[in-house]
């Protein structure tokens, strides 16, 4: 028999039970939002009359969009509300009582769900409205700010629902309050920790992988997809800038709603499937206990192996750490499950699986069973190769994606690059970088695939092979964009910089500090060049690049910095003593400028 009690009456009854929760949230969000706004405006009001401080700016910075502290409290509210509303599932007596009522489980779930959500919604909406009232009292409220506050309120409620639904899943998976809190921590931190462990093991064992290959994707994207709490905290915003912050996009709000809906439906499915006798157990579903234990302890055992590797660099100690901490972790979780010290060794098979799997993964990575670090395709399988080292460009490509830089540098006459890569494979990386250089390499295979690697090779070999590459016109054209400039219309000026200790050698003396085109400091002398003089320097430098070796160019004490008309950098190019054409033009320009100033005086 199904009760004829209306759903609204069930919700009202739930709200009466959660009056305390409503009061607590009104206090918290009241202090967090309207009280903060009132304090900020009250403190800044005297400065408005004396110093002309804009109360509008103060108001805009205190409310609305883009407040991570608000999001943190909203996510905490989601955890508290979910546990408060459904804590009865942890008690067999309460569970029997509620399930004995002539109400479907879905109906009961929905009533409690909606009732606890309304406690947050009421407290949060009232707090936002109170902040607007305070702003209106100070004369700084507007229609646009009301719209952004409404948008921020919708976003906050959706973030709350994500947290609430994620916590509900943890509640339904567990039978004890302590286990629920542990489950929330696991659901929130498990995948980020796995990702960090993956990067750490790649950094230790796959040292030929590019750093960008290790992370795979942007770290924020990883965090955002790891849990409903992280999704709410790191969800992507739109491109529209409001007066209080960046507005969320419609797609972002829909994604928040979708995440909340998926986890809510999952929680409902678990609620329907769990049995009454699950109350009091750490895990509500006994068949999941072993799986959860192994999935938690394998990464923990791997972490122990990494610590041993970093501390002892001994396979014996590494296996001991995996064995000891893997088994110990299984025993601790078994104690959490049973609350009985005598049961910690009840499932030895879980320990065996943990140790075997963790050892297999760890030592396969440690000894590079897949041959990742020693990968070198046959030369006839390679169509082109590229090499990159930050010294090649000065500061021009700092911060750029390594893959894109290598993609732009591929050459077909790649023998020197191949020999450097081969030497990098044969050379074991050492802790001393004094006589080594780290290079990035790209293999363009004839089957259409691309492989990226990084190697550390001897400095002497590096300069020898780079000198060979410097003699190739194709390499120079790709390596030095200045050679492909058809005109210099987009370049506004250049600066020739040199340490002052070399000025006498260059014949650049009698520097005038007052000259706007010539500046001097204790560390560096700079000559500002533009117009036809700049074109002469560019032409001279192009000629020098045809004759100066790469290694000689790297022994620079001077450089040319170009600036575009849009204010961005046009690149930085090294100048060594071997750049005779360039230095000759620079000396002529300098002496002409200084002699002109002297004659004018």
Read off the pLDDT of residues 129-170 as tens digits, 9 standing for 90 and up: 999 999 999 988 889 999 999 999 999 999 999 999 999 999
Which of the residue ranges 72-76, 81-85, 224-228 would you say has the lowest mean pLDDT?
A: 224-228
Predicted confidence band at 503 (pLDDT cuts at 50, 70, 90)?
low
What pLDDT is attached to residue 214? Answer: 62
Please identify which residue in the block is written with the tokens 């340490």.
499
Q: What is the mean pLDDT of the chain?
A: 87
- By C-alpha distance, which of 541, 525, 526, 528 is closest to 492? 528
Distance separating alpha carbons of residues 485 and 571, to the nearest angstrom:
12
Distance separating alpha carbons of residues 362 and 111, to the nearest angstrom:
49
Read off the pLDDT of residues 65-82 as tens digits, 9 standing for 90 and up: 989 999 999 999 999 999
Distance separating alpha carbons of residues 513 and 501, to the nearest angstrom:
16
> What average pLDDT score do residues 590-595 get?
76
According to DSSP, the β-strands at 436-445 and 450-458 are antiparallel
pTM, full prediction: 0.81
CA torsion 484-486-489-494 (nearest 10°) is 30
Please identify which residue in the block is written with the tokens 């479907």.
104
CA torsion 50-53-54-57 (nearest 10°) is -150
What pLDDT is attached to residue 433? Answer: 64
What pLDDT is attached to residue 14? Answer: 92
C-beta contacts of 136-141 below 8 A and 24+ residues apart: 138/41, 138/45, 138/55, 138/59, 139/55, 140/41, 140/55, 140/56, 140/58, 140/59, 141/59
> What average pLDDT score do residues 372-381 get?
94
Which of the residue ranges 40-54, 194-208, 238-252 would you say has the lowest mean pLDDT?
A: 40-54
Predicted confidence band at 276 (pLDDT cuts at 50, 70, 90)?
confident
Choose between 513 and 319: higher pLDDT. 319
């Amino acid at each position: 028999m199904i009760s004829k009690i209306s759903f609204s009456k069930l919700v009202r009854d739930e709200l009466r039970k959660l009056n305390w929760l409503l009061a607590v949230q009104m206090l918290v969000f009241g202090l967090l939002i309207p009280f903060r706004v009132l304090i900020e405006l009250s403190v800044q009001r005297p400065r408005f009359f004396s110093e002309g401080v804009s109360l509008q700016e103060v108001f805009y910075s205190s409310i609305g969009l883009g407040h991570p502290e608000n999001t943190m409290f909203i996510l905490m509210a989601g955890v508290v509300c979910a546990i408060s509303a459904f804590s009865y599932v942890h008690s067999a007596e309460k569970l029997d009582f509620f399930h004995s009522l002539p109400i479907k489980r879905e109906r009961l779930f929905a009533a409690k769900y909606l009732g606890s959500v309304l406690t947050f919604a009421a407290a949060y909406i009232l707090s936002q409205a109170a902040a607007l009232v305070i702003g209106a009292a100070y004369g700084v409220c507007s229609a646009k700010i009301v719209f952004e506050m409404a948008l921020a309120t919708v976003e906050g409620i959706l973030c709350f629902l994500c947290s609430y639904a994620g916590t509900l899943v943890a509640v339904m998976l567990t039978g004890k309050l302590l286990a629920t809190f542990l489950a929330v921590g696991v659901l929130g931190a498990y995948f980020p920790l796995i990702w960090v462990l993956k990067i750490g093991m790649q950094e230790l064992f796959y040292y030929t992988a590019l750093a960008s290959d290790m992370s795979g994707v942007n770290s924020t994207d990883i965090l955002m997809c790891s849990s409903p709490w992280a999704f709410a905290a790191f969800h992507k915003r739109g491109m529209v800038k409001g007066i209080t912050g960046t507005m969320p996009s419609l797609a972002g709000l829909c994604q928040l709603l979708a995440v909340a809906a998926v986890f809510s439906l999952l929680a409902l499915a678990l609620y329907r499937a769990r049995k009454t006798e699950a109350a009091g157990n750490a895990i509500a579903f006994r068949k999941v206990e072993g799986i959860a234990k192994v999935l938690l302890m394998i990464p923990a055992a791997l972490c122990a192996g990494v610590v041993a590797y970093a501390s002892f660099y001994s396979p014996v100690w590494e296996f001991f750490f995996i064995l000891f901490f893997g088994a110990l972790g299984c025993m601790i979780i078994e104690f959490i499950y049973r609350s009985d010290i005598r049961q910690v060794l009840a499932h030895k098979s879980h320990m065996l699986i943990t140790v075997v799997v963790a050892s297999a993964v760890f030592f396969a990575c440690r000894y590079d069973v897949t041959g990742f670090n020693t990968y070198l395709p046959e030369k006839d399988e390679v169509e082109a190769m590229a090499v990159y080292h930050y010294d090649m460009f000065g500061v021009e490509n700092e911060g750029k994606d390594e893959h894109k830089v290598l993609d732009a540098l591929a050459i077909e006459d790649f023998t020197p690059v191949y020999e450097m890569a081969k030497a990098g494979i044969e050379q074991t990386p050492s802790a001393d970088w004094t006589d080594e250089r780290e290079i990035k390499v790209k293999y363009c295979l004839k089957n259409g695939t691309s492989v990226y690697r990084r190697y550390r090779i001897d400095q002497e070999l590096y300069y020898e092979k780079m000198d060979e590459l410097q003699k190739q016109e194709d390499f120079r054209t790709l390596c030095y964009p200045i050679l492909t400039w058809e005109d210099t219309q987009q370049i506004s000026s250049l600066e020739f910089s040199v340490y002052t200790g070399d000025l006498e050698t260059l014949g650049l003396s009698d520097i005038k500090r007052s000259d706007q085109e010539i500046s001097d400091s204790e560390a560096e002398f700079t000559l500002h060049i533009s117009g036809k003089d700049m074109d002469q320097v560019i032409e001279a430098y192009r000629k020098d690049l045809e004759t100066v070796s790469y290694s000689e160019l790297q022994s620079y004490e001077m450089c040319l910095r170009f600036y575009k008309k849009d204010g961005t950098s046009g690149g930085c190019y090294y100048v060594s003593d071997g750049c005779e054409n360039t230095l000759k033009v620079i000396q002529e320009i300098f002496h002409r400028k200084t002699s002109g100033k002297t004659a004018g005086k």
